[in-house]
Chains A and B, each alone.
Chain A
Amino acid sequence: MTTGKPVMVKALPEVLDGTQAAVLFRELAPIFESDHPRVVFDFAAVRYLDSSGVELLLRCMEEAMKRNGDLKLAAIPAPVAVILEITRVDRLFEIYDNCSDAVESYHRFPTQALQPENVDPSLEKFDLGPAIGQKTGRTEPAS
Chain B
Amino acid sequence: MHLSAILVTGNRYSSTTSSADFAQGVQQQRQPESVSLACVDILGQSVLDRTVARLRGTRVAHIFVVASPHCPCLPQTRGVKVTLAEQLAARWSEAQRILKKQARRGIDTLLIAHLGAYAEFDFDRALNFHRAQGQPVTPLHDHTGELGYWFVETEWVKSTDFHALPFSHAVVRRSVPYLVDGYINRLANAHDFRRLVVDAFLGRCSITPRGREIRPGVWVDQDVQLHKTARVVAPAYLGRNTSVHPFAVITRFSNLEHRSQVGEGSVVANASVLPHTMIGRGLDVSAALVDGNEWVDLRRNIALQIPDPNLISNAAVTRPAAPLPRAEHEAPERDLQPAELNLEYPGYLGRAAGRLLEVFKDEI
Contact = CB atoms under 8 A, between A and B. Distances in A.
B167 interface: no
Nearest to B267: A88
A83 interface: yes
Interface stretch (B44-52, B116-124, B210-218, B297-305): B297-305
B162 interface: no
Interface string B51-84: 0000000000000000000000000000000000
B263 to A, nearest CB: 12
A87 B23 contact: no
A55 B284 contact: no
B284 A48 contact: no
Contact residue range for chain A? 20 to 34
B24 A14 contact: yes
A98 interface: no
B302 A79 contact: yes
A82 B352 CA distance: 17
Could you tell me the dominant secondary structure of chain A's interface residues?
A: helix
A48 B348 CA distance: 19
A45 to B, nearest CB: 12
A88 B24 CA distance: 23
B26 A78 contact: no
Contact of A86 (B19, B21, B285): B285
B85 interface: no
Interface in A32-66: 47-48, 50-52, 54-55, 58
B26 A48 contact: yes
A85 interface: yes
Nearest to B26: A48
A15 interface: yes
B177 interface: no
Nearest to A58: B348
B295 A82 contact: yes
B192 interface: no
B22 A88 contact: no
Contacts of A58: 348
A54 B349 CA distance: 10
B165 interface: no
Given A51-B349, A58-B348, A82 B23 contact: no
B283 interface: yes
A88 B285 CA distance: 10
A51 B346 CA distance: 7
Nearest to B280: A51
Nearest to B286: A85
Interface in A68-109: 78-79, 81-83, 85-88
Interface string B93-117: 0000000000000000000000000
Contact of A48 (B23, B282, B295, B346): B23
A97 to B, nearest CB: 15
Contacts, number: 70
A48 B307 CA distance: 10
Nearest to A57: B348
A54 B345 CA distance: 12
A47 to B, nearest CB: 6
B241 interface: no
B352 A50 contact: no
A48 B24 contact: yes
Nearest to B307: A50
A81 B300 contact: yes
B24 A55 contact: no
Nearest to A87: B283
B302 A78 contact: yes
Contacts of B26: 15, 17, 48, 50
Given A48-B23, A48-B26, A86-B311, 7 more contacts: A48-B25, A50-B307, A54-B348, A78-B300, A82-B297, A83-B306, A88-B282
25 contacts: A15-B24, A15-B25, A17-B26, A47-B22, A48-B23, A48-B25, A50-B308, A50-B310, A51-B308, A52-B346, A54-B348, A79-B304, A82-B297, A82-B304, A85-B284, A86-B284, A86-B311, A87-B282, A87-B284, A87-B311, A87-B349, A87-B352, A88-B282, A88-B283, A88-B284
Interface of A: 14-15, 17, 47-48, 50-52, 54-55, 58, 78-79, 81-83, 85-88
